[in-house]
């Protein structure tokens, strides 16, 4: 019986994933001073036990000002390394690949967690100043972001590089740079939020410069055999803003700078964008970038069914599928998929007695 594509290994640089199923980074907003706790260990570790080929830690801030909320994970100081190291090692011990997403929230920071409404923090609640490409609010009533100076951009580059070094020390095999969903790097990419007139605004080359610099700094400090991913919003879903063709062009440029895979999402730059949410709605973007930029891609977004996920990778729409809410609902989704597609299931040793008999 031919092995389903979903359960074939995927090798990227010096890393080999046991299958094509990855857990998408999903913010939990329950860290203290950026430090991971037992919730993160169980949350992430259970998906590795459940058979994921790769487990991606949620958006992890490269500086205190880069947090979305006070509960965000961080890698801006050495005290944050050890708790994440414990998580990375547990993931690896289960046969999965530990990965981490590095992020700066930009104008979408200094907020309450989404599950607490997501409103901006007040000064009494510990609000901090927010940066962006330009002085353009995300939505009416939000605090006005300050356009980042070149000195602040250089500091941010140093923060990304330092966080990537700490991620390597913590034992993560894959680093992803978050340049999607309306956060700082996306704010520079999109003409909707970037109104600058200096070397970081205006033309495509200028608007993509900051991300290119981040990629270069991060690639320099992580091991040569460590894969580097970038998450992009393939489109802003707004006419005249960031487009699929922009993403495809950028993906080709990023490949030349050492990026190995584009994690293809969409939206997030505008609060009022109309996004046609439907089953697998972002998969065609992954296919387009994969075919036209000649780079590995991951598809994400309302991929929930086993046969659907198999079709995405078997048809060449993507090399990897990232599951989000489906993994929140079922930590053992990959085991169920294996049983469905292969009529057999890998079982962690401590659980095998439950499968040894029909009792």
Torsion of CA 307, 309, 315, 320, to 10 degrees: -160
Residue 210 lies in a domain: yes
The torsion region of residue 302 among left (phi > 0), alpha (psi -120 to 50) and beta comes to: left
Residue 215 in contact with residue 258, Cβ under 8 Å?
Answer: yes
pLDDT of residue 357: 52
Q: Domain range spanning residue 330?
A: 5-116+127-356
The total of other beta-carbon atoms located within 10 Å of residue 357's CB is 6
Residue 122 lies in a domain: no
Q: What is the residue-wise DSSP string for 315-333?
A: TTS-SEEEESHHHHH-TTH
pLDDT of residue 315: 97
Residue 121 lies in a domain: no
Residue 4 in contact with residue 314, Cβ under 8 Å?
Answer: yes
SS3 118: coil
Q: pTM for the full model?
A: 0.96
pLDDT tens for the chain, 359 residues: list them. Answer: 689 999 999 999 999 999 999 999 999 999 999 999 999 999 999 999 999 999 999 999 999 999 999 999 999 999 999 999 999 999 999 999 999 999 999 999 999 998 888 899 999 999 999 999 999 999 988 999 999 999 999 999 999 999 999 999 999 999 999 999 999 999 999 999 999 999 999 999 999 999 999 999 999 999 999 999 999 999 999 999 999 999 999 999 999 999 999 999 999 999 999 999 899 999 999 999 999 999 999 999 999 999 999 999 999 999 999 999 999 999 999 999 999 998 777 778 888 887 665 54
pLDDT of residue 245: 98
CATH number of the structural domain spanning residue 269: 3.20.20.70
The residue annotated as part of the active site, out of 29, 183, 200, 332, is 183
Which of 237, 238, 266, 262 lies closest to 250 in space, CA to CA?
A: 262
Domain count, the chain: 1
Tell me whether residue 183 is one of the annotated catalytic residues. Answer: yes
CA distance 40 to 105: 20
Radius of gyration of the chain (CA): 20
pLDDT of residue 349: 84
Calculate the alpha carbon distances from 279 to 150, 283, 304, 332 in Å. 42, 9, 8, 21
Q: For residue 270, which phi and psi values (nearest 5 degrees)? A: -135, 135
Residue 242 lies in a domain: yes
pLDDT of residue 313: 98
């Amino acid at each position: 019986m031919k092995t389903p594509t979903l359960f074939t290994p995927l090798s990227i640089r010096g890393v080999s994933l046991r299958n094509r199923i990855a857990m998408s980074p999903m913010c939990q907003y329950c860290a203290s001073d950026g430090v991971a706790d037992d919730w993160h260990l169980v949350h992430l570790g259970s998906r590795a036990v459940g058979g994921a080929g790769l487990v991606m830690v949620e958006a992890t801030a490269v500086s205190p000002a880069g947090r979305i909320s006070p509960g965000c994970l961080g890698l801006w100081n050495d005290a944050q390394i050890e708790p994440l190291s414990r998580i990375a090692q547990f993931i690896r011990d289960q046969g999965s690949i530990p990965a981490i997403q590095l992020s700066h929230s930009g104008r979408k920071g200094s907020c309450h967690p989404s599950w607490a409404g997501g409103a901006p923090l007040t000064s009494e609640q510990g609000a901090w100043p927010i940066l962006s490409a330009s002085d353009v609010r995300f939505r009416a009533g939000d605090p006005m972001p300050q356009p980042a100076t070149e000195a602040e951009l250089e500091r941010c580059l140093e923060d990304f590089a330092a966080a990537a070094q700490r991620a390597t020390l913590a034992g993560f095999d894959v680093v992803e740079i978050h340049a999607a969903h309306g956060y700082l790097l996306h704010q520079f990419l999109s003409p909707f939020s970037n109104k600058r007139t200096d070397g970081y605004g205006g033309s495509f080359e200028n608007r993509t410069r900051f991300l290119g610099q981040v990629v270069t700094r991060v690639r320099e400090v992580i091991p040569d055999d460590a894969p580097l991913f970038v998450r992009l919003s393939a489109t802003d879903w707004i006419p005249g803003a960031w487009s699929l063709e922009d993403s495809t062009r950028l993906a080709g440029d990023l490949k030349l700078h050492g990026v190995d895979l584009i994690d293809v999402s969409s939206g997030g730059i505008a609060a009022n964008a109309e996004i046609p949410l439907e089953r697998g709605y972002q998969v065609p973007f992954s296919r387009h970038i994969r075919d036209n930029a000649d780079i590995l891609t991951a598809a994400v977004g309302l991929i929930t069914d086993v046969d659907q996920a198999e079709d995405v990778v078997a048809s060449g729409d993507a090399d990897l599928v990232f599951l989000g809410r489906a993994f929140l609902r079922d930590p053992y989704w990959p085991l169920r998929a294996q049983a469905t597609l292969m009529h057999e299931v890998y079982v962690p040793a401590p659980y095998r007695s439950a499968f040894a008999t029909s009792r």
